[in-house]
Amino acid sequence: MTEISELDRPVVGRGFRLQWEPAQEAHVLLYPEGMVKLNSSAAAIMSRCDGVRTIADIVADIERTYGVTGLAADVAAFVAMARERSWLEMKGE
Amino acid sequence: MELTYRCPLHCVFCYNPTEFAATGPELETEDWLRVLREARALGSVQLGLSGGEPLARDDLEVIVAEAHSLGFYINLITSGVGMTEARIAALKRAGLDHIQLSFQDSSREMNDFLSSTRTFELKAKVAALIKQYEYPMVLNVVLHRLNIDHVEEILELAQGIGAEYVELANTQYYGWAWLNREHLMPSREQLRRAEATLARFRARPGQKMKIFFVVPDYFETRPKACMNGLGSVFLTVTPDGTALPCHAARMLPGFTFPNVRTDPVRSIWYDSEAFNHFRGTGWMKEPCRTCPEKTRDFGGCRCQAYLLTGDAANADPVCDLSPHHHLVTDAVAAAEARGQAANEGLIFRDHRISIPVVVVGQERASK
């Protein structure tokens, strides 16, 4: 699997669906016969993965939204983990 | 939701009830939509659409659209027969999330033999459509004595059509598969070879498919945690509206199963005896009752306990703590004793029979 660059454009993996689930009071990632409940950080990242924004855009947007800095490494680590699990794909991959 | 028992295939390992032709008329579209709304209101989020062949219903797209608007994650379980580009485009628009395509075997001859119809090339076409419409290509192959020696060919075929996930699911013996158990049970040696082949395939350089192997439980010493216990997370509605706590539960004696034509899903789930009876551990007998593992496997499968021992409250005899475990090991031993696959007597799923009469070699030519 190739290295991830901050210019990659992640998108929710084929066969997965991200949605707000009132019963869980959380964003969840759905797949056949299963569901992952996302914490708020994971949801903030995943919900911005639209195949248009780059990882750098996503970092900037989250930092702006929550008034924090220095999230690049955390976002990169989450994206790498999520891609490993097929929750995310890189657009054009 | 099992939308229909109609199916163009005649698989010998089908888990549909053998008496399916004697069940009542199929639900109307509006009934299915009501079931979806009621189930979603109770917090349900996963929807599997199966059958029979769900594509045999021409309102499939309507059902998918409603389920999607309600927020269900929707998985279509199909043989691919009846799938066209027009239909997959409509299903995609309606919000279908996932498709699982079943394949009977890798070689055309075996595939046609086992499903009793010529479907192999069609499935390759459907696999291409699935990729074209940006679904993950998920292939399910039911394994048994007659095809388990073809695991390598099956995996190569899966690779050839671009499968990303392959489930090799050993036959579970319910419905038609139960009738055909002695013909379908692999030998221990076959199983060992299949697992070795699988390990070699997984180790191939550049091999990217995710391969799941569902072990046949007859060869185990602890039962599967079937449905995480009946009435725990799963509800299925059969084509005629009967609500069941597992696909095969219709066979369990002593229950009047509720029907969505007359009963709301809420009362089915919370109030019906059929869904409450096997909840918790109070129904258990020894050795389950005092077993420290009872909350791990819930005593195994109630249907298997009933089929093999005649009492659904007994331990699943797959468990070697069960006094009936010999019923499982005897069946495995009988499979060992059988010679090379003898196909005479295989019973094909067929709507014309409640009591099976179609025997290979006599009527196969007429299909």
The alpha-carbon gap from A51 to the nearest alpha carbon of chain B, in Å, equals 14
Chain B 62-81, CB below 8 Å of chain A: which residues?
71, 73, 75
Contact at CB, A31 and B135, closer than 8 angstroms = no
Query: How far, in Å, CA of B123 to CA of B119, rounded?
Result: 6
Say if residue B341's pLDDT is above 60.
no
B270: Cβ contacts below 8 Å, ≥ 6 apart: none
For position B365, what pLDDT does the model report? 31
Q: Does B298 touch chain A (CB under 8 A)?
A: no
The pLDDT value given to residue B363: 32
Residue B358 has pLDDT above 70, yes or no: no
Cα(B205)–Cα(A21) distance, rounded to whole angstroms? 40
Average pLDDT over residues B195-223: 94
Q: What is the mean pLDDT of residues A30-38?
A: 91
Residues of chain A contacting residue B45, judged by C-beta atoms under 8 Å apart? 21, 23, 28, 30, 35
Q: What residues in chain A have their Cβ under 8 A from chain B's Cβ atoms?
A: 13-15, 17, 19, 21, 23, 28, 30-35
pLDDT band of residue B179 (cuts 50, 70, 90) is confident
Listed in sequence order, the residues at least 6 apart from B223 whose beta carbon sits closer than 8 Å to its beta carbon are: B217, B297, B299, B300, B301, B304, B315, B316, B318, B319
- Closest approach of B50 to chain A, Cα-based (Å): 13
Residue pair B350/B363 in contact by the 8 Å Cβ criterion: no
A55-69, B104-118, B316-330: range with lowest mean pLDDT? B104-118
Confirm or reject contact between B92 and chain A (CB < 8 A). Answer: no
CA angle B259/B262/B268 to nearest 5° reads: 55
* d(C-alpha B4, C-alpha B258), whole Å: 18
Question: What pLDDT is attached to residue B362?
Answer: 32
Instruction: Kindly report, residue by residue over B226-280, the tens digit of the pLDDT.
Output: 999 999 999 999 999 999 999 999 999 999 999 999 999 999 999 999 999 999 9
For A24, which residue in chain B has the nearest alpha carbon? Answer: B43
B365 or A18, which is more confident: A18
pTM metric for this prediction: 0.89
For residue B16, pLDDT over 90 is answered with no
Quick: pLDDT tens for B43-84: 999 999 999 999 999 999 999 999 999 999 999 999 998 999
